[in-house]
């Protein structure tokens, strides 16, 4: 199960996340989402746990708990919304819709 972890302090590392979740069961991966340009944490991350029961236990046990001075928001990650093919800007033409 993929778990969303929000309200992370900028100091929280992937290792910190992994250590916080390990008491609840096996952690497959722990990722802190970072800004592409600055490399700083965006304040949230994801933890993947193979066993759904362990993941649910971690959600119940860690939601609202403090990690490095911040109360965690922990819940089941929602799937990314699919991008809609909607209307492009510029009249639907590639290249910004310039007409020569």
pTM, two decimal places: 0.79
Q: Which CATH number fits domain 2-75: 3.30.70.330, 1.10.3720.10, 1.10.10.10, 3.30.420.40?
A: 3.30.70.330
Write out pLDDT tens, residues 3-33.
999 999 999 999 999 999 999 999 999 999 9
The answer on pLDDT for 50 being more than 80 is: yes
d(Cα 66, Cα 62) in Å, to the nearest integer? 8
Q: Are 47 and 24 in contact (CB under 8 A)?
A: no
Residue 76, CB half-sphere, CA atoms under 13 Å: how many? 11
């Amino acid at each position: 199960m993929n778990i969303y972890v929000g309200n992370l302090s900028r100091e929280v590392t992937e290792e910190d996340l992994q250590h916080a979740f390990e008491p609840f069961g096996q952690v497959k991966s722990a990722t802190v989402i970072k800004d592409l340009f600055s490399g700083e944490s965006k304040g949230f991350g994801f933890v993947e746990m193979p066993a759904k029961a362990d993941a649910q236990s971690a959600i119940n046990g860690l939601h609202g708990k403090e990690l490095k001075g911040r109360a965690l928001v922990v819940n089941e990650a929602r799937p990314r919304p699919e991008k809609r093919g909607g209307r492009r800007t510029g009249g639907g033409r590639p290249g910004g819709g310039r007409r020569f």
